[in-house]
Amino acid sequence: MKRIHVGRGLKKVWIPLVLIVVLAISGLVVSRLHKMFASEDLNPNAGKGIEIVQFNPKILVYDVDGSPGSTAQISYFDPDANVHYVTVPLPWSVTLSTTLPTVSASLMAQTDGDQIHCKVTVNGAVREEQSADGINAQTYCLVKSA
């Protein structure tokens, strides 16, 4: 009759058994810590959507006026800093709107007459106003930050 040695069997399986016990205890400890520190719900506001806050856009108005019957070559920046060139009869005006937090307003105008006047208005307040007299008068209006 053969003897079965329990010691030899334990020598072969004791490391995997200890590993299984350690992993089970570690998993239990981590699970308890997650519950204790409320980290189960990592983003409680997910799926609720974004709240839109109401605000008033900036209204930017460029005005150019001059001698009656004259025309002007005008270049100006829009709120996205794109340059626009127009040749128009005077008086001329354009209204622009933006939701940007700040905007730079720049306008340059030259007339074929002898008088020219430019004005930049932001949200109803005149921020810059310039005039020039002379042959082919030229002026500019600049608002660095509106």
CATH number at residue 86: 2.60.40.2880
What confidence score (pLDDT) does residue 106 get? 92
In a domain, 13, yes or no: no
If one counts the domains in the chain, the total is 1
User: Is the pLDDT score of 87 beyond 60?
Assistant: yes
In a domain, 97, yes or no: yes
What confidence score (pLDDT) does residue 14 get? 84
Which of 30-39, 43-52, 106-115 has the highest average model confidence (pLDDT)?
106-115
In a domain, 52, yes or no: no
At which residue do the structure tokens 């930049």 appear?
120
How far, in Å, CA of 33 to CA of 87, rounded? 72
In this structure, what DSSP letter does residue 42 have?
S
In a domain, 19, yes or no: no
In a domain, 139, yes or no: yes
User: Is the pLDDT score of 1 beyond 60?
Assistant: no
In a domain, 8, yes or no: no
What confidence score (pLDDT) does residue 38 get? 63
In a domain, 49, yes or no: no
How far, in Å, CA of 94 to CA of 59, rounded? 11
How far, in Å, CA of 142 to CA of 74, rounded? 13
**Residue 4: pLDDT band by 50, 70, 90 thresholds?**
low
Domain encompassing residue 120: 58-143
Distance of CA 47 to the CA centre of its chain: 23
